[in-house]
Amino acid sequence: MDIAIGELSRRTGVKVPTIRYYEQVGLMPVPPRSAGAQRRYGQADVARLNFIRHSRELGFEVDAIRELLTLTARPDLPCAEVDVIARRHLSEVDARIERLTALRTELSRMVGECGHGHVGECRVIEVLSDHGECLGAGH
């Protein structure tokens, strides 16, 4: 297989500028070019880009994906390092969920306390104007 970047984009669902970005940051190897200076990709590039896309959809950061890709080049290694990366990401996701839950609680409280009167007496505006009014102000 020898395809252009547009076809790689179509097959993987990754936009062309994103593919170029992944090349710039080292997630994708710099492809060979045709006589007309077009980037040319093969099946391994399609598989690698699908791996990257799916990793990004799951929220992995570029550095973690780079680590995972490096590990995939060594299939004989135990997967302990992969587990460490995945567990670290899971911990980050749990922390994000905790922050979002607190945010939801605070926004719900602000909206619930709104008397639907005038902006000058609006509880949402009061809380946004004074962080001390937030339930989690000690954080």
State mean pLDDT over 103-121. Answer: 79
> Quick one: how far is CA 116 from the chain centroid?
38
Q: Give the per-residue pLDDT at 136.
A: 60
pTM: 0.78
Q: Which residues, including other chains, have CB under 8 Å from residue 136's CB and lie 6 or more apart?
A: 102, 106
SS3 112: helix
pLDDT greater than 60 at residue 137: no
Which of the four pLDDT bands, split at 50, 70 and 90, describes residue 40?
very high
For 62-109, write each residue's pLDDT tens digit: 999 999 999 999 999 999 999 999 999 999 999 999 999 988 988 888
H/E stretch holding 28 reads: none
Give 39's strand partners.
33
